[in-house]
Amino acid sequence: MDVNDAHDVTQAQAGDELAFRRLVERHSRGVFQLAFRLTGSEPDAEDIVQETFLKAFRELRRFEARSSFRTWIHRVAVNCAYDLLRQRPRYKAESLDAADKDGAQGGGIEPEADGASRPDRLAFGAEVQGRVRTALELLTPTERTAFVLRHFEGRSLEEIGETLGLHTGATKHSIFRAVQKMRRALAPFVGPAVGIGNEGLEPGCSAGL
Kindly report, residue by residue over 82-140, the tens digit of the pLDDT: 888 777 665 333 333 333 333 333 333 233 334 444 554 444 456 667 777 778 888 88
CATH code of the domain covering residue 77: 1.10.1740.10
In the structure, what pLDDT confidence band is assigned to residue 18 with cuts at 50, 70 and 90?
very high
45-59, 118-132, 158-172: segment of lowest average pLDDT: 118-132
- Does the global pTM surpass 0.95? no
Q: Which residues of 62-95 are buried (b: 16+ CB within 10 A; e: fewer)?
A: ebeeeeebbbbbbbbbbbbbbebbeeeeeeeeee
Q: What is the pLDDT of residue 89?
A: 62
Does residue 209 lie within any of the structural domains? no
* Mean pLDDT (the chain, rounded): 75
When divided into structural domains, the chain yields a total of: 2
Higher pLDDT: 192 or 146? It is 146
- Domain endpoint, select from 17, 50, 85: 85
**pLDDT at residue number 128:** 66
Average of pLDDT values for 42-69?
90
Residue 169 has pLDDT above 70, yes or no: yes
Same domain, 65 and 143: no
Residue 121 included in any domain: yes
Lowest mean pLDDT among 34-43, 74-83, 116-125, 166-175: 116-125
CATH of the domain at 133: 1.10.10.10
Q: Assess whether pLDDT exceeds 70 at residue 149.
A: yes
Please tell me the predicted confidence (pLDDT) of residue 139: 86
| Same domain, residue pair 36 and 111 | no
